[in-house]
């Protein structure tokens, strides 16, 4: 589960009434991908039970919020153009303390779904009239928490700025609705991070954080491909501070490594997990490089006010790339190492230097940086 945005509405204190709206609000298979048996084969035999427990989001919320009235309406189908359910959805939203709008996909194969093998899309707009339903609920003024069970990183239009919160899941599996409900209540402090960028507009693909400089927002293009939510992004119900970066050696041969150390502290009032990400920026190379690329990460679980010291060993091998002769090489030159909470949120940065001759590498090269929690940290 990735908490994409939150204006403070989450976690929900026991609300009096939740309006649960959307095509995935009471759909058992909303959590399954296209190669799961019920979605792959069972859909052709609707008379046969699934054979596994698939609690819907409505059922999960009723268990998680036993004292709350939960009123449910689909409002719209996953795909199709029928808007006849909008009026009832708006009516329920206006009488609720908060709206949980469950949107996304129906997994399937070869055109039977909106996501899955053979179910391609030429836009990252929500299928059908889901965006129009979302906009209608935003217009009610009731806080809208958008929950997604989807196979794609859909652009959500106005909701990026106007939704009270957005929680993303990508076909999370049989316990997915239980996990979603526990994130909404705060029983679980979310620590997921986006494995893809989420675009601001539906026509922004193909887009990746691995783009070179001219693939990002520049003065030479009238299109701004900047993501609404960047690769590696994800929020928590607590906060963290990073400090005290030290670098053991700022120079290394192309066959060596760099050693860094820094501290992370939980500055909030509840236990949580920070995901420390290490990005490498190579400003000058013989072949154009992405502005940055992820070369390592670690998860750090901390109690309130607890801190830890982390060391990270960054082998020169992670700076390798395919050269003009088709062979992978580590080139000498300056690099920038960015310790970050996401690809757009660097917290600690240092510049280091690779020296010596270019060094060819092969499949035996070291593929990522190695993190270690230092003895003597708060525990």
The arithmetic mean of pLDDT across residues 140-168, rounded, is 97
Q: What is the pLDDT of residue 146?
A: 98
325 token code pair: 């002769």
Distance in angstroms (rounded) separating the CA atoms of residues 330 and 287: 12
How far apart are the C-alpha atoms of 353 and 276, rounded to whole Å?
23
Is it the case that residue 72 has pLDDT exceeding 70? Answer: yes
CA distance linking residue 348 with residue 340, whole number of Å:
7
**What pLDDT band is residue 375 in, cutting at 50, 70 and 90?**
low
Pairing of strands 69-73, 17-21: parallel
pLDDT of 28 > 90? The answer is yes
- Domains of the chain with CATH codes: 2-215 (3.40.50.1700), 240-373 (2.60.40.10)
Q: What is the mean pLDDT of residues 34-40?
A: 90
Query: Helix (H, G, I), strand (E, B), or coil: what is residue 78?
Result: coil
pLDDT score for 358 = 97
Phi, psi angles (nearest 5°) of residue 13: -75, 160
| Distance set, CA 316 to CA 26, 143, 298, 323, 358 (Å) | 51, 49, 19, 16, 11
Please compute the mean of the pLDDT values over residues 229-255 and round it to a whole number: 97
Q: Which pLDDT belongs to residue 98?
A: 98
Average pLDDT of span 105-125: 93
pLDDT at 222: 84
Q: pLDDT tens digits for 170-223?
A: 999 999 999 999 999 999 999 999 999 999 988 876 678 998 888 888 888 888
- Percent of the chain at pLDDT > 90 equals 87
Check whether 168 has a pLDDT greater than 70: yes
Residues 6+ apart with CB under 8 A from 81: 128, 129
Query: Taking a C-beta distance cutoff of 8 angstroms, is the pair 89, 132 a contact?
Result: no
Write out pLDDT tens, residues 328-370. 999 999 999 999 999 999 999 999 999 999 999 999 999 999 9
Residue 321 half-sphere exposure toward CB, CA atoms < 13 A: 18
Peptide bond into 206 cis (omega under 30): yes
pLDDT at 213: 86
Q: Which residues of 160-194 are buried (b: 16+ CB within 10 A; e: fewer)?
A: bebbbbbbbbbbbebebbbbbbbbbbeebbbbbbb
pTM > 0.75: yes or no: yes
Is the pLDDT reported for residue 228 higher than 50?
yes
Give the pLDDT confidence score for residue 379 in this predicted structure: 41
* Arithmetic mean of pLDDT, 259-268: 98
- 276-283 mean pLDDT: 97
- Say if residue 377's pLDDT is above 70: no
User: How, if at all, do strands 328-330 and 359-360 pair?
Assistant: antiparallel
At residue 215, the pLDDT reads: 83
Residues in the chain: 379
């Amino acid at each position: 589960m990735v908490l994409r945005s939150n204006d403070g509405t989450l976690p929900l204190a026991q609300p009096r009434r939740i309006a649960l709206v959307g095509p995935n609000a009471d759909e058992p298979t909303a959590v399954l991908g296209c190669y799961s048996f019920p979605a792959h084969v069972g859909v052709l035999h609707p008379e046969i039970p699934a054979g596994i427990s698939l609690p819907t989001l409505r059922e999960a919320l009723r268990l998680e919020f036993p004292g709350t009235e939960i009123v449910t309406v689909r409002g719209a189908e996953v795909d199709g153009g029928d808007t006849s359910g909008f009026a009832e959805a708006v009516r329920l939203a206006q009488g609720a303390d908060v709206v949980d709008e469950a949107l996304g996909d129906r997994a399937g194969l070869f055109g039977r779904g909106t996501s899955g093998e053979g179910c391609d899309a030429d836009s990252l707009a929500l299928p059908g009239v889901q965006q129009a339903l979302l906009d209608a609920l935003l217009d009610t003024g009731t806080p809208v928490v958008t929950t997604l069970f989807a196979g794609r990183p859909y652009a959500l239009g106005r909701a990026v700025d106007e939704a009270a919160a957005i929680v993303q899941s990508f076909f999370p599996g049989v316990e997915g609705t239980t996990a979603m409900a526990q994130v909404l209540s705060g029983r679980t402090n979310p620590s997921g991070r986006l494995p893809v960028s989420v675009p601001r507009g539906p026509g922004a693909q193909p887009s990746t954080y691995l783009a070179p400089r001219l693939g990002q927002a520049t003065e030479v293009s009238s299109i701004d491909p900047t993501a609404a939510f960047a690769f590696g992004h994800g929020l928590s119900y607590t906060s963290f501070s990073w400090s005290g970066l030290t670098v053991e050696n700022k120079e290394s041969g192309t066959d060596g490594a760099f050693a860094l150390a820094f501290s992370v502290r939980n500055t909030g009032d509840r236990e949580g997990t920070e995901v420390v990400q290490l990005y490498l920026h190579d400003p000058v190379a013989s072949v154009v490089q992405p502005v940055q690329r992820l070369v390592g990460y670690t998860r750090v679980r901390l109690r309130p006010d607890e801190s830890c010291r982390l060391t990270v060993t960054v082998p020169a091998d992670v700076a390798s790339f395919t050269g003009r002769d088709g062979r992978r090489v580590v080139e000498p030159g300056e690099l920038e190492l960015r310790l970050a909470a996401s690809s757009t949120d660097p917290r600690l940065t240092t510049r280091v230097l690779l020296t010596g001759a270019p060094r060819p590498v092969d499949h035996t090269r070291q593929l990522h940086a190695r993190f270690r929690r230092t003895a003597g940290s708060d525990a």
